[in-house]
Amino acid sequence: MMTGDAPPADGPVCPLCGRPIPPHVPQSLHHLVPKLRGGKGGPVVLLHHICHREIHATLSESDLARHFNTIEALRAHPRLAKFAAWVAARPPEFTSKVPGARRRARR
């Protein structure tokens, strides 16, 4: 019988990238509707911290509330889909700094 270092099958899985979320890696809860846009007490999902940061570096609170308030919508966003495919090839404990706000400022 072989033993492996694979995470337990019943552990949490990041809904954005599809990788397991080990207990020792940075993780955070994401409000599908931002709290400041009426989502206080609403549904939340557990994500890798790197995935959560990428969501907020990509989309404004208003965009999240109006158009990207489901995991399916987030995964369909072109930039988040590209990020999810990229990070999915990394180990579950992979972390990296996400540069500061990269979304275009509104004028």
Residue 84 lies in a domain: yes
Say what the pLDDT of residue 2 is.
42
| Cβ-based neighbour number of residue 39 at 10 Å | 18
Number of domains within the chain: 1
Say what the pLDDT of residue 52 is.
95
Sign of dihedral through CA atoms 79, 74, 24, 98? positive
Which of the four pLDDT bands, split at 50, 70 and 90, describes residue 71? Answer: very high
Residue 98 lies in a domain: no
Residue 67 lies in a domain: yes
Say what the pLDDT of residue 96 is.
81
* CA distance linking residue 89 with residue 17, whole number of Å: 9
Assess whether pLDDT exceeds 70 at residue 9: no
| pTM (predicted TM-score) | 0.80
Residue type, 70: T
Residue 64 lies in a domain: yes
pLDDT digits (tens, 9 = 90+) for 13-32: 999 999 999 999 999 999 99
Q: What's the mean pLDDT in 88-102? A: 76
Residue 66 lies in a domain: yes
CA diameter of the chain: 62
Residue 105 lies in a domain: no
- Provide the domain limits for residue 45: 27-88
Q: What's the mean pLDDT in 33-46? A: 89
Q: How many CA atoms lie within 13 A of 82 on its CB side?
A: 3
Residue 49 lies in a domain: yes
Residue 61 lies in a domain: yes
Average per-residue pLDDT for the chain: 85
